Structures are given as structure tokens and as C-alpha cells.
């Protein structure tokens, strides 16, 4: 579920990639060290950086707060189904499980039309999954587990399958928040090199990816330069962008393992129509 801090963190990551396109180990686009952070600058740290010829970029939400922009009824959206890390295979009357196990993964056996299903728990292993399924089968017919395998002697039909839960999200509401990205620079030349690079990166990102898989709609609002601050050698430029983003609730649906159905033909059922 994204909130204001998630948007600020995404803006910080975008700003860092714009200022340091070659990575943090390479020089900045301005050729001087640039400190990037969320929040308002610390005066002593800012003064020290300016004296040393370095710059800062701060990211701060505008104090007017968020605006409710919800305009749709809550709707669920299915995320592409995950591939289970646990794999099942069958050879004759023996089913074998391999790979890794994650909590919530389903593992099952279909033995002569009878289904047996186990929901994996945290810290389970393929051997534990096999043992748990063998115990279920043994309650109704002979079966045994050996390592990661389950053998059902005499089974005429044996199918083994695994499935992962199906993740889903539901948008509960939507909001818009303005963010101020401020460049604090020791010279006008440095400011005029640094901030256009950041502005271009923001303008080229209509949708900002967030940590929960959603995206914030970025829009330019305003910009302002100032040389009138009280601190000497401080040249400031503000970029104001709005971010509209959803609040999502995450859930999951259980996967389906078996839907094997045999239907008889009309002839075998013996349907008679009388007119």
C-alpha cells in the first residue's frame, strides 16, 4: 500500500539517477558532489557543503497536504499468476516434488479420481510436502513417502500438481500531493547545470513506479529561482511536481490444482425425448 513516503522515496531514486546517470561511484552531471535526501536541509550541513563547492537536493511534500481525487468505485485487479517454486512430476505410481517451497503454495495428488491437497507452510521442504501428502493418501489406501517422493502402489491414474496463490489488488482511494524538489547550490552556474537535468528527468516520467507495483502520475506545477536567501553563496531553485497515486489493498486467492471432470455422452446416459 503506497503512501506519501513511498512517493517521496521514488522521487528520491529518480533524482539520484538523473544527477548521477553513471551511478553513485561516477561524477554527477554538475561535476561536484550532490547530496540528495528527503526532508528540509540542516543549516549547518548545508553551509558546510556550500563552502566546499558541493550542492544539495531536498525533496519535501508541500504543506497544503493531499487532495482526494478518488473517482472510481473500488475494483479488484488480478496480478499475473505466479509460477510456483515447487515442481511436481510423475513416473508410474510415484510422484516427486522438487525445487523450493514457499508459504501458501498448494501441492496435490489426484489418485484414481480422488484428490489430496496440502498447503505449504513457511520453512517446509519438498520432503515435508511429500510426507504430508503421503499421510493423507494412507488414510484411504496404501501409500508411502521416500524422501521427496510419494508412491501409491496399484494406482491406475496418478497426477501431481502444484499451484501458487493468485495475487490481487484493490484500489481503495486515490490522492494527489505536491512535492517540492529544491536545489541548493553554491553558484548560479552550478544551479543552471544541475536543476535542468533533474527537471528533464521528472518531465520525462509521466508515471512514477512505486514500491507496491502501482504508479504515481507526475505533472509539472511550477518552478522558481531565488538568489535572495539569507545565507551567502546560496543559489536556490525549486521544482514543484504533483503526484497522483492510489492506495491499494493487497490480497490473494488460492490457486486451483484439479478441475478434471469426465462427462458421459448423451448416448451413454440414455436420454429419451418424447414429443
Tens digits of per-residue pLDDT, 142-174?
999 999 999 999 999 999 999 988 878 888 889
Query: Band of the pLDDT at 227, cuts 50, 70, 90?
Result: confident
Residue 140 pLDDT > 50: yes
The pLDDT of residue 65: 87
Give the pLDDT band of residue 75 (cuts 50, 70, 90). low
Q: pLDDT confidence of 248, banded at 50, 70, 90?
A: confident
- The better pLDDT of the pair 18, 212 is held by 18
In the prediction, which pLDDT does 231 show? 59
Write down all domains in the chain, each with its CATH number in brackets: 4-73+169-251 (3.30.2000.10), 80-166 (no CATH)
Lowest model confidence (mean pLDDT) among 84-98, 146-160, 253-267: 253-267
E strands, 26-81, are 34-38, 55-61, 67-68, 76-78
Q: What is the mean pLDDT of residues 92-121?
A: 93
Which of 61, 16, 2 minimizes the C-alpha distance to 211? 2
User: What secondary structure does DSSP assign to 138-206, as a single string?
Assistant: HTTS--EEETTEEE-TT-S-EEEEEE--EEEEEEEEEEEEEEEEEEEESSHHHHHHHHHHHHHHHHT-S
pLDDT of residue 264: 40
pTM recorded for the entire structure: 0.67
The whole-angstrom separation of Cα 162 and Cα 114 is 16
Lowest-pLDDT range of 13-22, 142-151, 198-207, 245-254: 245-254
Nearest alpha carbon to residue 175 among 219, 221, 216, 220: 216
Amino acid at each position: 500500500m503506497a503512501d506519501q513516503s513511498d512517493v517521496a522515496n521514488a522521487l528520491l531514486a529518480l533524482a539520484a539517477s538523473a544527477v548521477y546517470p553513471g551511478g553513485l561511484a561516477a561524477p554527477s552531471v554538475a561535476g561536484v558532489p550532490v547530496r540528495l535526501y528527503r526532508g528540509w536541509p540542516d543549516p549547518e550541513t548545508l553551509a558546510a557543503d556550500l563552502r566546499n563547492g558541493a550542492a544539495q537536493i531536498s525533496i519535501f511534500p508541500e504543506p497544503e497536504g493531499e487532495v482526494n481525487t478518488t473517482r472510481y468505485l473500488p475494483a479488484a485487479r488480478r496480478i499475473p499468476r505466479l509460477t510456483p517454486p515447487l515442481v511436481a512430476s510423475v513416473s508410474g505410481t510415484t510422484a516427486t516434488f522438487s525445487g523450493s517451497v514457499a508459504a501458501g503454495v498448494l501441492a496435490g495428488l489426484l489418485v484414481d479420481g480422488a484428490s489430496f491437497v496440502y498447503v505449504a507452510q513457511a520453512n517446509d521442504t519438498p520432503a515435508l510436502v511429500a510426507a504430508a501428502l503421503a499421510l493423507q493418501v494412507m488414510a484411504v489406501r496404501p501409500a508411502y513417502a521416500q524422501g521427496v517422493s510419494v508412491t501409491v502402489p496399484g494406482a491406475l491414474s496418478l497426477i501431481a500438481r502444484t499451484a501458487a496463490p493468485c495475487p490481487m489488488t484493490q484500489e481503495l482511494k486515490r490522492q494527489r500531493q505536491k512535492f517540492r524538489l529544491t536545489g541548493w547550490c553554491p553558484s548560479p552556474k552550478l544551479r543552471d547545470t544541475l536543476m535542468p537535468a533533474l527537471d528533464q528527468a521528472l518531465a520525462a516520467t509521466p508515471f512514477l513506479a512505486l514500491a507496491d507495483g502501482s504508479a504515481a502520475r507526475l505533472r509539472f506545477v511550477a518552478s522558481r529561482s531565488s538568489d535572495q536567501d539569507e545565507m551567502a553563496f546560496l543559489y536556490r531553485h525549486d521544482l514543484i511536481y504533483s503526484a497522483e497515486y492510489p492506495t491499494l489493498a493487497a490480497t490473494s486467492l488460492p490457486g486451483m490444482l484439479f478441475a478434471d471432470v469426465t462427462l458421459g455422452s448423451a448416448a451413454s446416459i440414455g436420454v429419451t425425448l418424447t414429443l
